[in-house]
Amino acid sequence: MKISCQNQDFEKDMQDLVNLFYEDCPFSIEHSFTKEKSHIESKISIFDSEKPIINTVCFDLPADVDALQEKSLLKRNFKNQLYKILSEITGKSLPWGSLTGVRPTKFARDLIEKGEIKPHLLTETLVKDYHLSIEKAKLVAQTLSNQKCIIKNDKLVDLFINIPICPTRCNYCSFISNELWTVKDKIETYLECVFKELDAMKKLIAEKSYIVRTIYIGGGTPTVLSAEQLDRLLSKISYPVTEFTVECGRADTITREKLEVLKNHGVTRICVNPQTFCESTLKKIGRKTTNKQVLDAYMLAMEFDFVVNMDIIAGLGDERLGIFKRTIKTLLELYPQNITVHTLSVKNAAQIRGQEVKYAGDVPKMVEFAQHTLLENGYKPYYIYRQKHQVGGLENVGYCRDENVCIFNVDSMEDTSSVIAIGAGAISKRVFNLENRIEREPNCKFIPDYIDRIDEMIEKKIKFFS
Protein backbone atom coordinates (compact mmCIF):
# COMPACT_ATOMS: atom_id res chain seq x y z
CA MET A 1 0.00 0.00 0.00
CA LYS A 2 1.21 3.44 -0.81
CA ILE A 3 -0.03 6.76 0.49
CA SER A 4 1.19 9.88 -1.22
CA CYS A 5 0.36 13.38 -0.15
CA GLN A 6 1.02 16.56 -2.05
CA ASN A 7 2.40 17.97 1.19
CA GLN A 8 4.70 15.41 2.83
CA ASP A 9 4.14 16.94 6.26
CA PHE A 10 0.82 15.11 6.41
CA GLU A 11 1.90 11.77 5.00
CA LYS A 12 3.08 10.15 8.22
CA ASP A 13 -0.05 11.07 10.16
CA MET A 14 -2.33 9.80 7.43
CA GLN A 15 -0.30 6.61 7.16
CA ASP A 16 -0.65 6.07 10.94
CA LEU A 17 -4.40 6.31 10.58
CA VAL A 18 -4.45 3.84 7.67
CA ASN A 19 -2.35 1.41 9.75
CA LEU A 20 -5.06 1.40 12.42
CA PHE A 21 -7.61 0.21 9.87
CA TYR A 22 -5.45 -2.23 7.91
CA GLU A 23 -2.45 -4.38 8.68
CA ASP A 24 -1.79 -4.42 4.97
CA CYS A 25 -3.91 -1.85 3.15
CA PRO A 26 -5.14 -3.30 -0.19
CA PHE A 27 -5.14 -0.04 -2.16
CA SER A 28 -3.12 3.13 -2.69
CA ILE A 29 -4.22 6.56 -1.56
CA GLU A 30 -3.47 9.99 -2.96
CA HIS A 31 -4.13 13.25 -1.21
CA SER A 32 -4.00 16.75 -2.63
CA PHE A 33 -5.46 20.11 -1.68
CA THR A 34 -5.80 23.65 -2.91
CA LYS A 35 -5.82 26.81 -0.86
CA GLU A 36 -7.50 29.97 -2.03
CA LYS A 37 -7.07 32.61 0.70
CA SER A 38 -8.55 30.78 3.68
CA HIS A 39 -10.67 28.39 1.62
CA ILE A 40 -9.38 24.82 1.41
CA GLU A 41 -10.45 22.09 -0.99
CA SER A 42 -9.10 18.68 -0.04
CA LYS A 43 -9.23 15.64 -2.33
CA ILE A 44 -8.56 12.04 -1.35
CA SER A 45 -8.46 9.37 -4.07
CA ILE A 46 -8.49 5.67 -3.30
CA PHE A 47 -7.17 3.39 -6.04
CA ASP A 48 -8.03 -0.25 -5.91
CA SER A 49 -8.41 -2.55 -8.89
CA GLU A 50 -11.77 -1.03 -9.80
CA LYS A 51 -12.80 2.57 -10.38
CA PRO A 52 -11.06 5.01 -8.02
CA ILE A 53 -13.09 6.46 -5.17
CA ILE A 54 -12.70 10.23 -5.11
CA ASN A 55 -13.77 12.24 -2.11
CA THR A 56 -13.59 16.02 -1.95
CA VAL A 57 -14.35 18.24 1.04
CA CYS A 58 -14.13 22.01 1.48
CA PHE A 59 -13.61 24.01 4.63
CA ASP A 60 -12.47 27.48 5.69
CA LEU A 61 -9.59 28.27 8.01
CA PRO A 62 -10.33 30.83 10.72
CA ALA A 63 -8.86 34.29 10.17
CA ASP A 64 -5.51 35.21 11.80
CA VAL A 65 -4.06 31.73 12.27
CA ASP A 66 -0.28 31.52 12.29
CA ALA A 67 1.65 28.95 10.20
CA LEU A 68 1.80 26.40 13.03
CA GLN A 69 -1.91 26.64 13.80
CA GLU A 70 -2.71 26.38 10.12
CA LYS A 71 -0.69 23.20 9.76
CA SER A 72 -2.38 21.65 12.77
CA LEU A 73 -5.88 22.58 11.52
CA LEU A 74 -5.16 21.22 8.05
CA LYS A 75 -3.83 17.99 9.50
CA ARG A 76 -6.90 17.61 11.70
CA ASN A 77 -9.32 18.16 8.83
CA PHE A 78 -7.48 15.88 6.41
CA LYS A 79 -7.33 13.09 8.98
CA ASN A 80 -11.03 13.45 9.74
CA GLN A 81 -11.78 13.22 6.03
CA LEU A 82 -9.64 10.10 5.64
CA TYR A 83 -11.13 8.57 8.80
CA LYS A 84 -14.67 8.91 7.45
CA ILE A 85 -13.74 7.31 4.11
CA LEU A 86 -11.90 4.36 5.69
CA SER A 87 -14.63 3.89 8.23
CA GLU A 88 -17.19 3.71 5.45
CA ILE A 89 -15.15 1.29 3.31
CA THR A 90 -14.33 -1.07 6.18
CA GLY A 91 -17.50 -0.65 8.25
CA LYS A 92 -15.15 -0.22 11.23
CA SER A 93 -14.91 2.56 13.77
CA LEU A 94 -11.82 3.10 15.92
CA PRO A 95 -11.98 3.69 19.68
CA TRP A 96 -9.90 6.87 19.40
CA GLY A 97 -11.48 7.99 16.10
CA SER A 98 -9.17 10.08 13.98
CA LEU A 99 -6.78 10.89 16.84
CA THR A 100 -3.25 9.63 16.19
CA GLY A 101 0.12 10.92 17.33
CA VAL A 102 -1.34 13.02 20.15
CA ARG A 103 -1.90 12.41 23.83
CA PRO A 104 -5.66 12.51 24.20
CA THR A 105 -5.85 14.49 27.45
CA LYS A 106 -3.18 16.98 26.40
CA PHE A 107 -5.01 17.44 23.10
CA ALA A 108 -8.32 18.05 24.91
CA ARG A 109 -6.75 20.43 27.45
CA ASP A 110 -5.16 22.46 24.64
CA LEU A 111 -8.49 22.78 22.86
CA ILE A 112 -10.19 23.90 26.07
CA GLU A 113 -7.43 26.38 26.91
CA LYS A 114 -7.55 27.83 23.39
CA GLY A 115 -11.31 28.22 23.73
CA GLU A 116 -11.99 25.81 20.86
CA ILE A 117 -14.07 23.50 23.07
CA LYS A 118 -16.32 24.45 25.97
CA PRO A 119 -15.37 22.24 28.93
CA HIS A 120 -18.95 21.06 29.49
CA LEU A 121 -19.20 20.05 25.82
CA LEU A 122 -15.89 18.15 25.75
CA THR A 123 -17.31 14.62 25.51
CA GLU A 124 -19.80 15.52 22.79
CA THR A 125 -17.19 17.44 20.77
CA LEU A 126 -14.66 14.62 20.89
CA VAL A 127 -17.32 12.23 19.61
CA LYS A 128 -18.77 14.54 16.98
CA ASP A 129 -15.66 16.23 15.61
CA TYR A 130 -12.97 13.59 16.20
CA HIS A 131 -15.05 10.39 16.07
CA LEU A 132 -13.97 9.05 19.47
CA SER A 133 -16.21 6.35 20.93
CA ILE A 134 -18.38 7.72 23.70
CA GLU A 135 -16.48 5.55 26.25
CA LYS A 136 -13.08 6.99 25.26
CA ALA A 137 -14.43 10.54 25.17
CA LYS A 138 -15.78 10.08 28.70
CA LEU A 139 -12.47 8.59 29.79
CA VAL A 140 -10.69 11.74 28.56
CA ALA A 141 -13.09 13.99 30.46
CA GLN A 142 -12.80 11.94 33.66
CA THR A 143 -9.02 11.80 33.45
CA LEU A 144 -8.74 15.56 32.94
CA SER A 145 -10.83 16.11 36.05
CA ASN A 146 -8.37 13.99 38.05
CA GLN A 147 -5.31 16.01 37.06
CA LYS A 148 -5.63 18.73 39.66
CA CYS A 149 -1.96 18.33 40.58
CA ILE A 150 -0.84 20.29 37.50
CA ILE A 151 0.98 23.52 38.32
CA LYS A 152 2.22 25.56 35.40
CA ASN A 153 5.31 27.34 36.62
CA ASP A 154 8.50 27.44 34.57
CA LYS A 155 10.66 27.26 37.69
CA LEU A 156 9.27 23.85 38.70
CA VAL A 157 11.18 20.84 37.35
CA ASP A 158 10.91 17.09 37.63
CA LEU A 159 14.14 15.10 37.95
CA PHE A 160 14.41 11.82 36.01
CA ILE A 161 17.28 9.35 36.20
CA ASN A 162 17.45 6.44 33.77
CA ILE A 163 18.95 3.06 34.61
CA PRO A 164 18.39 1.18 31.34
CA ILE A 165 19.43 -2.20 32.66
CA CYS A 166 17.36 -5.30 33.47
CA PRO A 167 18.19 -8.73 34.89
CA THR A 168 16.99 -10.32 31.63
CA ARG A 169 14.91 -9.10 28.72
CA CYS A 170 11.16 -9.76 28.53
CA ASN A 171 10.28 -10.61 24.95
CA TYR A 172 7.35 -8.17 24.58
CA CYS A 173 9.28 -5.14 25.86
CA SER A 174 9.27 -1.99 23.74
CA PHE A 175 11.83 -0.06 25.80
CA ILE A 176 15.57 0.24 25.23
CA SER A 177 17.20 -1.64 28.04
CA ASN A 178 20.31 -3.80 28.42
CA GLU A 179 20.51 -7.24 29.94
CA LEU A 180 22.69 -7.09 33.03
CA TRP A 181 25.30 -9.55 31.75
CA THR A 182 25.97 -7.41 28.68
CA VAL A 183 26.89 -4.29 30.69
CA LYS A 184 28.07 -5.71 34.01
CA ASP A 185 31.63 -4.44 33.50
CA LYS A 186 30.38 -0.94 32.63
CA ILE A 187 28.00 -0.36 35.55
CA GLU A 188 30.50 1.39 37.81
CA THR A 189 31.64 3.75 35.04
CA TYR A 190 28.00 4.34 34.12
CA LEU A 191 27.18 5.30 37.71
CA GLU A 192 30.17 7.66 37.84
CA CYS A 193 28.85 9.44 34.76
CA VAL A 194 25.36 9.64 36.28
CA PHE A 195 26.91 11.14 39.45
CA LYS A 196 28.80 13.65 37.33
CA GLU A 197 25.57 14.70 35.62
CA LEU A 198 23.77 14.88 38.97
CA ASP A 199 26.50 17.14 40.43
CA ALA A 200 26.39 19.45 37.42
CA MET A 201 22.59 19.64 37.53
CA LYS A 202 22.62 20.32 41.28
CA LYS A 203 24.76 23.37 40.62
CA LEU A 204 22.53 24.47 37.75
CA ILE A 205 19.35 24.01 39.81
CA ALA A 206 20.77 26.20 42.58
CA GLU A 207 22.13 28.88 40.22
CA LYS A 208 18.94 29.15 38.18
CA SER A 209 16.63 28.83 41.20
CA TYR A 210 14.76 25.82 39.86
CA ILE A 211 12.60 23.89 42.31
CA VAL A 212 12.58 20.11 42.04
CA ARG A 213 9.00 18.99 42.49
CA THR A 214 9.26 15.22 41.92
CA ILE A 215 11.98 12.63 41.34
CA TYR A 216 11.64 9.45 39.26
CA ILE A 217 14.32 6.79 38.88
CA GLY A 218 13.19 4.64 35.98
CA GLY A 219 14.49 2.25 33.38
CA GLY A 220 14.83 -0.58 32.81
CA THR A 221 14.93 -1.82 36.35
CA PRO A 222 16.96 0.43 38.70
CA THR A 223 16.79 -2.18 41.48
CA VAL A 224 19.01 -4.37 39.33
CA LEU A 225 21.74 -2.33 41.08
CA SER A 226 23.06 -3.67 44.38
CA ALA A 227 21.89 -2.16 47.69
CA GLU A 228 25.29 -0.54 48.03
CA GLN A 229 25.16 0.97 44.52
CA LEU A 230 21.61 2.23 45.14
CA ASP A 231 22.79 3.77 48.39
CA ARG A 232 25.57 5.64 46.58
CA LEU A 233 23.20 6.80 43.85
CA LEU A 234 20.53 8.03 46.26
CA SER A 235 23.11 9.80 48.46
CA LYS A 236 23.72 12.09 45.48
CA ILE A 237 20.07 13.20 45.41
CA SER A 238 18.87 15.40 48.23
CA TYR A 239 15.91 17.49 47.16
CA PRO A 240 13.04 17.93 49.60
CA VAL A 241 10.28 16.41 47.47
CA THR A 242 7.01 14.80 48.50
CA GLU A 243 6.99 12.40 45.55
CA PHE A 244 10.01 10.22 44.86
CA THR A 245 9.47 7.11 42.72
CA VAL A 246 11.80 4.22 42.04
CA GLU A 247 10.77 1.78 39.31
CA CYS A 248 11.53 -1.55 41.01
CA GLY A 249 9.40 -3.36 38.44
CA ARG A 250 10.85 -6.82 38.38
CA ALA A 251 10.07 -8.54 41.66
CA ASP A 252 13.18 -10.71 41.33
CA THR A 253 15.33 -7.63 41.96
CA ILE A 254 13.57 -6.52 45.15
CA THR A 255 15.12 -7.32 48.55
CA ARG A 256 14.53 -6.04 52.08
CA GLU A 257 18.00 -4.49 52.09
CA LYS A 258 17.31 -2.49 48.89
CA LEU A 259 13.91 -1.28 50.10
CA GLU A 260 15.55 -0.17 53.35
CA VAL A 261 18.01 1.90 51.34
CA LEU A 262 15.16 3.45 49.32
CA LYS A 263 13.19 4.26 52.46
CA ASN A 264 16.22 5.82 54.19
CA HIS A 265 16.71 8.16 51.24
CA GLY A 266 13.14 9.44 51.16
CA VAL A 267 11.68 7.35 48.33
CA THR A 268 7.88 7.44 48.63
CA ARG A 269 6.59 5.36 45.72
CA ILE A 270 7.77 2.16 44.04
CA CYS A 271 6.53 -0.01 41.18
CA VAL A 272 6.17 -3.77 41.60
CA ASN A 273 4.90 -5.03 38.28
CA PRO A 274 3.21 -8.37 37.79
CA GLN A 275 2.26 -7.69 34.09
CA THR A 276 -0.06 -10.72 34.54
CA PHE A 277 -0.76 -13.13 37.36
CA CYS A 278 -0.89 -16.08 34.95
CA GLU A 279 2.36 -18.00 35.44
CA SER A 280 2.16 -19.89 32.15
CA THR A 281 1.91 -16.53 30.34
CA LEU A 282 4.92 -15.26 32.28
CA LYS A 283 6.92 -18.20 30.92
CA LYS A 284 5.69 -17.59 27.37
CA ILE A 285 6.65 -13.92 27.46
CA GLY A 286 10.08 -14.66 28.88
CA ARG A 287 9.52 -12.72 32.10
CA LYS A 288 11.49 -14.53 34.70
CA THR A 289 9.42 -13.78 37.79
CA THR A 290 6.84 -15.80 39.72
CA ASN A 291 3.63 -14.75 41.45
CA LYS A 292 5.24 -15.62 44.79
CA GLN A 293 8.08 -13.17 44.11
CA VAL A 294 5.56 -10.44 43.24
CA LEU A 295 3.47 -11.09 46.35
CA ASP A 296 6.53 -11.24 48.63
CA ALA A 297 7.84 -7.98 47.15
CA TYR A 298 4.44 -6.36 47.60
CA MET A 299 4.25 -7.43 51.27
CA LEU A 300 7.74 -6.01 51.83
CA ALA A 301 6.72 -2.74 50.16
CA MET A 302 3.70 -2.53 52.46
CA GLU A 303 5.93 -3.09 55.50
CA PHE A 304 7.94 -0.05 54.42
CA ASP A 305 4.77 1.91 53.75
CA PHE A 306 5.54 2.80 50.14
CA VAL A 307 2.84 3.94 47.74
CA VAL A 308 2.84 1.04 45.28
CA ASN A 309 2.08 1.01 41.56
CA MET A 310 1.46 -2.25 39.71
CA ASP A 311 1.69 -2.48 35.89
CA ILE A 312 -0.25 -5.01 33.86
CA ILE A 313 -0.57 -5.53 30.10
CA ALA A 314 -3.68 -6.60 28.18
CA GLY A 315 -2.93 -8.88 25.23
CA LEU A 316 0.07 -10.82 26.51
CA GLY A 317 0.83 -14.30 25.15
CA ASP A 318 -2.33 -16.23 24.36
CA GLU A 319 -4.35 -14.80 27.24
CA ARG A 320 -8.09 -14.64 26.83
CA LEU A 321 -10.54 -12.45 28.69
CA GLY A 322 -11.08 -14.95 31.52
CA ILE A 323 -7.38 -15.06 32.45
CA PHE A 324 -7.11 -11.29 32.29
CA LYS A 325 -10.14 -10.94 34.59
CA ARG A 326 -8.34 -13.11 37.14
CA THR A 327 -5.35 -10.75 37.04
CA ILE A 328 -7.64 -7.77 37.71
CA LYS A 329 -9.33 -9.61 40.57
CA THR A 330 -5.98 -10.46 42.15
CA LEU A 331 -4.92 -6.82 41.84
CA LEU A 332 -8.08 -5.76 43.64
CA GLU A 333 -7.34 -8.17 46.47
CA LEU A 334 -3.91 -6.58 46.82
CA TYR A 335 -5.41 -3.07 46.42
CA PRO A 336 -2.25 -1.07 45.54
CA GLN A 337 -2.62 2.72 45.40
CA ASN A 338 -1.82 2.81 41.66
CA ILE A 339 -2.59 0.35 38.87
CA THR A 340 -1.44 0.99 35.31
CA VAL A 341 -3.26 -0.95 32.62
CA HIS A 342 -1.25 -1.15 29.39
CA THR A 343 -2.39 -2.51 26.06
CA LEU A 344 0.27 -4.59 24.33
CA SER A 345 2.23 -2.61 21.79
CA VAL A 346 4.09 -4.69 19.24
CA LYS A 347 6.45 -1.86 18.33
CA ASN A 348 10.12 -2.84 18.35
CA ALA A 349 9.41 -6.00 20.26
CA ALA A 350 11.65 -8.00 17.98
CA GLN A 351 10.69 -11.38 19.32
CA ILE A 352 6.95 -10.95 18.86
CA ARG A 353 6.90 -8.54 15.94
CA GLY A 354 5.22 -10.03 12.92
CA GLN A 355 3.46 -12.66 14.99
CA GLU A 356 -0.24 -12.28 15.29
CA VAL A 357 -1.55 -11.45 18.72
CA LYS A 358 -3.51 -14.63 19.20
CA TYR A 359 -6.70 -13.32 20.73
CA ALA A 360 -6.60 -9.68 19.64
CA GLY A 361 -10.40 -9.65 19.61
CA ASP A 362 -10.44 -10.11 23.40
CA VAL A 363 -8.18 -7.13 24.09
CA PRO A 364 -10.80 -4.34 23.85
CA LYS A 365 -12.99 -6.35 26.23
CA MET A 366 -10.06 -6.70 28.65
CA VAL A 367 -9.40 -2.97 28.64
CA GLU A 368 -13.10 -2.25 29.11
CA PHE A 369 -13.39 -4.81 31.92
CA ALA A 370 -10.36 -3.28 33.68
CA GLN A 371 -11.85 0.20 33.43
CA HIS A 372 -15.31 -0.75 34.72
CA THR A 373 -14.02 -2.95 37.52
CA LEU A 374 -11.39 -0.51 38.72
CA LEU A 375 -13.86 2.39 38.69
CA GLU A 376 -16.40 0.29 40.59
CA ASN A 377 -13.76 -0.38 43.21
CA GLY A 378 -12.82 3.22 43.86
CA TYR A 379 -9.99 3.75 41.38
CA LYS A 380 -9.89 6.83 39.13
CA PRO A 381 -8.09 7.27 35.79
CA TYR A 382 -5.47 10.01 36.11
CA TYR A 383 -3.32 9.74 33.00
CA ILE A 384 -3.61 8.22 29.55
CA TYR A 385 -1.12 7.67 26.80
CA ARG A 386 -1.07 5.83 23.52
CA GLN A 387 1.81 4.17 21.71
CA LYS A 388 2.06 3.11 18.12
CA HIS A 389 1.08 -0.44 17.23
CA GLN A 390 -1.06 -1.04 20.28
CA VAL A 391 -3.51 -3.87 19.79
CA GLY A 392 -6.88 -2.51 18.59
CA GLY A 393 -5.52 1.06 18.56
CA LEU A 394 -6.10 1.11 22.34
CA GLU A 395 -4.27 2.92 25.14
CA ASN A 396 -2.48 2.81 28.50
CA VAL A 397 -4.28 4.20 31.53
CA GLY A 398 -2.91 4.98 34.99
CA TYR A 399 -5.46 4.56 37.80
CA CYS A 400 -5.16 5.69 41.39
CA ARG A 401 -7.17 5.38 44.55
CA ASP A 402 -7.47 7.97 47.32
CA GLU A 403 -5.90 10.89 45.43
CA ASN A 404 -2.60 9.02 45.02
CA VAL A 405 -1.84 10.47 41.60
CA CYS A 406 1.75 10.22 40.46
CA ILE A 407 2.55 13.85 39.64
CA PHE A 408 5.57 12.85 37.57
CA ASN A 409 3.42 10.70 35.27
CA VAL A 410 0.89 13.49 34.80
CA ASP A 411 3.60 16.07 34.13
CA SER A 412 5.37 13.86 31.60
CA MET A 413 2.27 12.95 29.65
CA GLU A 414 0.75 16.42 29.70
CA ASP A 415 4.03 18.30 29.09
CA THR A 416 3.22 20.62 31.96
CA SER A 417 6.61 20.68 33.67
CA SER A 418 10.24 20.71 32.59
CA VAL A 419 12.23 17.53 33.15
CA ILE A 420 15.93 17.42 33.92
CA ALA A 421 16.73 13.96 32.63
CA ILE A 422 19.93 12.12 33.50
CA GLY A 423 21.48 8.91 32.17
CA ALA A 424 21.66 7.04 28.88
CA GLY A 425 18.52 7.40 26.76
CA ALA A 426 17.09 10.11 29.02
CA ILE A 427 15.43 13.04 27.25
CA SER A 428 15.34 16.41 29.00
CA LYS A 429 12.39 18.67 28.33
CA ARG A 430 11.98 22.38 28.83
CA VAL A 431 8.46 23.72 29.06
CA PHE A 432 7.79 27.38 28.31
CA ASN A 433 4.29 27.66 29.72
CA LEU A 434 3.51 31.21 28.65
CA GLU A 435 4.54 30.54 25.09
CA ASN A 436 2.84 27.11 25.07
CA ARG A 437 6.06 25.64 23.69
CA ILE A 438 8.41 22.80 24.60
CA GLU A 439 11.95 21.88 23.62
CA ARG A 440 13.76 18.59 24.06
CA GLU A 441 17.41 17.68 24.62
CA PRO A 442 18.25 13.97 24.40
CA ASN A 443 21.23 12.20 25.96
CA CYS A 444 22.99 9.45 24.00
CA LYS A 445 20.78 6.35 23.83
CA PHE A 446 23.37 3.67 24.46
CA ILE A 447 25.55 3.22 27.54
CA PRO A 448 28.99 3.14 25.79
CA ASP A 449 28.26 6.39 23.86
CA TYR A 450 26.83 7.97 26.99
CA ILE A 451 30.03 7.19 28.86
CA ASP A 452 32.25 8.44 26.01
CA ARG A 453 30.35 11.71 25.54
CA ILE A 454 29.34 12.59 29.09
CA ASP A 455 31.08 16.01 29.22
CA GLU A 456 29.57 17.11 25.95
CA MET A 457 26.07 16.16 27.16
CA ILE A 458 26.49 18.00 30.45
CA GLU A 459 27.61 21.12 28.63
CA LYS A 460 24.60 20.93 26.29
CA LYS A 461 22.22 20.45 29.18
CA ILE A 462 23.57 23.43 31.10
CA LYS A 463 23.00 25.59 28.03
CA PHE A 464 19.58 24.04 27.49
CA PHE A 465 18.33 24.95 30.98
CA SER A 466 20.02 28.37 31.15
8 A C-beta contact, residue 33 and residue 41: yes
Q: Which residue is nearest to ligand SAM (CB)?
A: 249
Residues 311-330 that bind ligand SAM (CB under 6 A): 311, 313
Residue 372, phi then psi, degrees to nearest 5: -60, -45
* Interface with ligand SAM, residue 364, by CB under 6 A: no
Among 100, 105, 174, 276, binds ligand SAM (CB under 6 A): 174
From the list 130-138, 215-223, 335-343, 399-407, the region that binds ligand SF4 by CB under 6 A is 215-223
Give the pairing type, strands 338-343 and 396-400.
antiparallel
**Comparison of 74 and 313: residue with beta carbon closer to ligand SF4:** 313
Among 95, 97, 104, 219, binds ligand SAM (CB under 6 A): 219
Among 104, 220, 315, 317, binds ligand SF4 (CB under 6 A): 220
The nearest distance, CB 26 to ligand SF4, in angstroms, is: 35
**Comparison of 136 and 169: residue with beta carbon closer to ligand SF4:** 169
**Comparison of 274 and 393: residue with beta carbon closer to ligand SF4:** 274
Which of ligand SF4, ligand SAM, none has residue 311 at its interface (CB below 5 to 8 Å by kind)? ligand SAM
Among 247, 362, 411, 441, binds ligand SAM (CB under 6 A): 247
Which of ligand SF4, ligand SAM, none has residue 169 at its interface (CB below 5 to 8 Å by kind)? ligand SF4
372-386 residues labelled b (16+ CB within 10 A) or e (exposed) = eebeeeebbbbbbbb
Among 250, 265, 269, 461, binds ligand SAM (CB under 6 A): 250
Q: Which positions from 109 to 148 touch ligand SAM by CB under 6 A, shown as an x/- string?
A: ----------------------------------------
* Interface with ligand SF4, residue 315, by CB under 6 A: no
* Interface with ligand SF4, residue 249, by CB under 6 A: yes
Which of ligand SF4, ligand SAM, none has residue 380 at its interface (CB below 5 to 8 Å by kind)? none
Which of ligand SAM, ligand SF4, none has residue 345 at its interface (CB below 5 to 8 Å by kind)? ligand SAM
Among 44, 94, 99, 173, binds ligand SAM (CB under 6 A): 173
* Interface with ligand SAM, residue 270, by CB under 6 A: no
Residues 116-175 that bind ligand SF4 (CB under 6 A): 166, 169-170, 173, 175
Which of ligand SF4, ligand SAM, none has residue 342 at its interface (CB below 5 to 8 Å by kind)? ligand SAM
Where does this chain bind ligand SF4 (CB under 6 A)? Answer: 166, 169-170, 173, 175, 177, 219-221, 249-250
Where does this chain bind ligand SAM (CB under 6 A)? Answer: 166, 172-175, 219-221, 247, 249-250, 273, 275, 311, 313, 342, 344-345, 349
